[in-house]
């Protein structure tokens, strides 16, 4: 290895030129003896508290948004959604958009329930497509399209960041073999550190690998240049000043009136703390204890704030539960007079009005208590309908119901939404069978009217799909050709982009004859799985090559580091084997449940992924062992 040339300048001159470059964490290089296990454990504990607090923060944010939307009409919700989608960045509005969706459909279901009840009770009401729902779906699609585009942009940027960081690692590695002056080498090192920090996030699958490789070469650089004690002490002094300033800022947050904002500011201070290098060993624990104490005050205020919010939500839950209990008792009561039913209905309307004035319950209970409320109301109205069906002329009520079914069928007879209209007509036919008899005077007339509407639609549908058969055969030919092309493709050269292109082309081809559908889909799945297998194999080979290079560097650094790396890999294998054992045991339980196929498939995929990682990790251990 070629030594770095130094100038005749004094060490202090070197310090002056290089001090801004030395912003890396020296705790892992020259100053490991200054890091105590107690301090590391305390910091990890505090970080875990931060994660839990973040979860509470998210729940509280949802509660605040729901409260903001409470009482808004469907039209007001739509106007608010328009404002959200058009005036805000899509990555910042997910919680609010989903809250609008929940609030909108809660009102929409209530309107539809009322409409159906009016129809069932004989009201002359027409079922029409709801313009509010159509408008909502249009706005929600705009939001989803923007979000999908944003996610795709983020993933593309992460891939670019990954390439940039690999280039930085390559340049960092070359520093220890270059023949430059120490001043120039530190300048280049500072530039590489700045570029690394500015490069941004990389895809999750590369995070550990690229970070460990970067740290390895940083350690090699410091081992190579042999940082002198004077330079180290200067860096410790600057780090002490920076961390002391962070302690002061954290302590001031204890009086910040905005509790949630103070918590978020604290998270940023923790990020800055982790970016600052070490301090002298005799100052480290006291400094960290001061920072942790200030953080604990902010976290405690944050926790107390949300506990207060949860207390209000729990009170709301108890009030709503009491309303549910009263309505359930009304539904179980045996009312025998028109006057009694009118009085009970008025009380129910009062309870429904009171319900709308109560805020949200805790998130884990809110949906359950609403479903209980809705079920209780439904049961009440069912009992009411049962009572009036006994006192009214049953055949006249049945006639009105069948006329409503005729109108609904006639509204569908010209539809070209074949699947949707077919399902609706089949549902209407099923409902027709549940309606009782009508007077002979009207029975034949109303039946012929209903049958004519159904026959007209199904005759039009038969004619339409007869013309589709030739197109289905053409689609079958195109998909077979695409499968042949996938079998011949050079997937190692094309990679995941080629697979995505095949998937796009496949999805653009329309339907095929039904008798070929399952067999064709099976062949397509097998082809896609094979392509993914080839690409993953290439990725695995590249990862092992990078690890070989890392093993070479570790060997140069001594047996201790090599043994540490092997121990870490061996522990990971044991952890993965335990996870596989647990997942395989869980499948036995799932197999006894109805409709568990999708869950079992997901667990099997996790098992396969874990086994692949076990094989890759064992391969790395063998590389270390020299096998």
Q: Where are the domains of the chain?
A: 11-227, 393-464, 468-546, 558-627
Confidence at residue 447, expressed as pLDDT on a 0 to 100 scale: 92
Confidence at residue 485, expressed as pLDDT on a 0 to 100 scale: 86
Confidence at residue 41, expressed as pLDDT on a 0 to 100 scale: 38
Question: What is the pLDDT confidence band of residue 4, given thresholds at 50, 70 and 90?
Answer: very low
The mean-pLDDT minimum among 40-44, 366-370, 470-474 falls in: 40-44
Model pLDDT for residues 406-434, shown as the tens digit of each residue: 999 999 889 888 889 899 989 999 999 89
- Predicted confidence (pLDDT) at residue 525 exceeds the cutoff of 80: yes
Confidence at residue 30, expressed as pLDDT on a 0 to 100 scale: 33
Confidence at residue 231, expressed as pLDDT on a 0 to 100 scale: 63
The mean-pLDDT minimum among 14-18, 378-382, 469-473 falls in: 14-18
The mean-pLDDT minimum among 8-12, 201-205, 584-588, 606-610 falls in: 8-12
Q: Is 236 within 8 Å of 27 (Cβ atoms)?
A: no
- Predicted confidence (pLDDT) at residue 225 exceeds the cutoff of 90: no
- Predicted confidence (pLDDT) at residue 7 exceeds the cutoff of 50: no
The CA-atom distances, in angstroms, between 553 and each of 4, 344, 559 are: 19, 82, 11
What number is the average pLDDT over the span 75-97?
83
The CA-atom distances, in angstroms, between 295 and each of 268, 315, 393, 458 are: 12, 31, 74, 70
Confidence at residue 124, expressed as pLDDT on a 0 to 100 scale: 58
Q: Is 550 within 8 Å of 216 (Cβ atoms)?
A: yes
Confidence at residue 547, expressed as pLDDT on a 0 to 100 scale: 66
Confidence at residue 32, expressed as pLDDT on a 0 to 100 scale: 31
Model pLDDT for residues 250-260, shown as the tens digit of each residue: 889 888 888 88
Q: What's the pTM value of the predicted model, to 2 decimals?
A: 0.35
Model pLDDT for residues 191-223, shown as the tens digit of each residue: 888 888 888 888 888 888 887 888 777 767 766
Cα radius of gyration (the chain) = 34
Q: Is 485 within 8 Å of 531 (Cβ atoms)?
A: no
Confidence at residue 388, expressed as pLDDT on a 0 to 100 scale: 67
Confidence at residue 35, expressed as pLDDT on a 0 to 100 scale: 34
Model pLDDT for residues 148-197, shown as the tens digit of each residue: 988 888 889 888 888 888 888 888 888 766 655 556 777 788 888 888 88
Share of the chain above pLDDT 70, in %: 78
- Predicted confidence (pLDDT) at residue 13 exceeds the cutoff of 50: no
The CA-atom distances, in angstroms, between 620 and each of 547, 548, 625 are: 7, 8, 9
CA–CA gap between residue 186 and residue 21 (Å, rounded): 6
Confidence at residue 614, expressed as pLDDT on a 0 to 100 scale: 82
Q: Closest Cα to residue 235, out of 275, 192, 276, 184? A: 276
CA–CA gap between residue 169 and residue 549 (Å, rounded): 12
Confidence at residue 593, expressed as pLDDT on a 0 to 100 scale: 62
Residue with tokens 């949300």: 306
Model pLDDT for residues 42-73, shown as the tens digit of each residue: 444 444 444 444 555 556 666 677 777 777 88
């Amino acid at each position: 290895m070629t030594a770095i040339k130094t100038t005749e300048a004094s060490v202090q001159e070197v310090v002056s030129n290089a001090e801004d470059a030395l912003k890396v964490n020296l705790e892992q290089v020259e100053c490991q003896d200054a890091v105590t296990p107690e301090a590391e454990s305390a910091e990890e504990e505090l970080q875990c508290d931060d994660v839990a607090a973040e979860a509470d923060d998210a729940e509280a944010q949802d509660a605040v948004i729901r409260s903001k939307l409470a009482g808004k009409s469907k039209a007001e919700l739509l106007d608010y959604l328009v404002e959200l989608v058009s005036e805000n960045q899509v990555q910042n509005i997910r919680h609010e958009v989903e809250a609008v969706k929940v609030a909108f459909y809660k009102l929409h279901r209530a309107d539809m329930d009322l409409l159906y009840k009016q129809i069932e009770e004989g009201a002359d009401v027409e079922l029409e497509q709801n313009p509010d729902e159509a408008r909502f779906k249009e706005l929600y699609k705009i939001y989803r399209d923007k979000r999908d585009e944003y996610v795709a942009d983020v993933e593309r940027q992460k891939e670019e960041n990954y390439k940039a960081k690999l280039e930085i690692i390559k340049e960092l590695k070359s520093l220890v073999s270059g023949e430059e002056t120490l001043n120039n080498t530190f300048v280049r090192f500072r530039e590489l550190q700045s570029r690394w920090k500015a490069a941004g996030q990389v895809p999750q699958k590369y995070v550990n690998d690229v970070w460990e490789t970067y740290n390895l070469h940083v350690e090699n650089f410091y081992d190579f240049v042999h940082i002198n004690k004077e330079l180290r002490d200067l860096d410790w002094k600057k780090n002490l000043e920076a961390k002391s300033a962070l302690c002061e800022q954290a302590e001031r947050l204890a009086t910040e009136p905005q509790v949630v904002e103070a918590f978020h500011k604290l998270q940023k201070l923790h990020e800055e703390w982790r970016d600052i290098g070490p301090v002298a060993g005799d100052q480290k624990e006291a400094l960290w204890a001061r920072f942790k104490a200030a953080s604990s005050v902010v976290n405690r205020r944050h926790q107390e704030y949300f506990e207060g919010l949860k207390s209000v939500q729990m009170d709301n839950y108890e009030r709503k539960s009491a309303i549910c209990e009263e309505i359930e008792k009304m539904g179980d009561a045996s009312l025998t007079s028109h006057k009694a039913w009118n009085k009970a209905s008025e009380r129910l309307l009062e309870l429904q009005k009171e319900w709308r004035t109560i805020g949200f319950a805790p998130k884990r209970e809110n949906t359950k208590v609403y479903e209980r409320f809705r079920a209780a109301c439904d049961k009440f109205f069912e009992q009411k309908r049962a009572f009036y069906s006994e006192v009214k002329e049953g055949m006249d009520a049945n006639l009105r119901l069948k006329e409503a079914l005729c109108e609904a069928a006639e509204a569908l007879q010209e539809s070209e939404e074949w699947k949707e209209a077919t399902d609706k007509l089949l549902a209407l036919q099923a409902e027709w069978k549940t309606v009782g008899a009508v007077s002979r005077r009207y029975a034949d007339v109303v039946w012929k009217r209903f049958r004519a509407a159904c026959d007209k639609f199904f005759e039009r549908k038969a004619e339409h799909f007869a013309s589709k058969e030739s197109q289905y055969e053409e689609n079958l030919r195109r998909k077979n050709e695409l499968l042949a092309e996938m079998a011949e493709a050079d997937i190692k050269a094309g990679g995941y982009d080629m697979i995505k292109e095949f998937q796009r082309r496949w999805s653009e081809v329309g339907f095929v004859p039904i008798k070929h559908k399952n067999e064709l889909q099976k062949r397509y799945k097998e082809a896609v799985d094979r392509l993914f297998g080839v690409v993953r194999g290439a990725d695995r080979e590249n990862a092992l090559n990078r690890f070989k290079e890392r093993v070479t560097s570790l060997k140069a650094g001594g047996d201790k580091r090599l043994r540490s790396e092997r121990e870490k890999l061996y522990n990971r294998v044991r952890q993965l084997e335990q996870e596989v054992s647990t997942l395989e045991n869980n499948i036995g339980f799932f197999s006894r449940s109805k409709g568990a196929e999708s869950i079992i498939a997901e667990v099997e995929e996790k098992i396969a992924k874990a086994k692949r990682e076990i094989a890759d990790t064992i391969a790395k251990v063998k590389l270390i062992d020299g096998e």
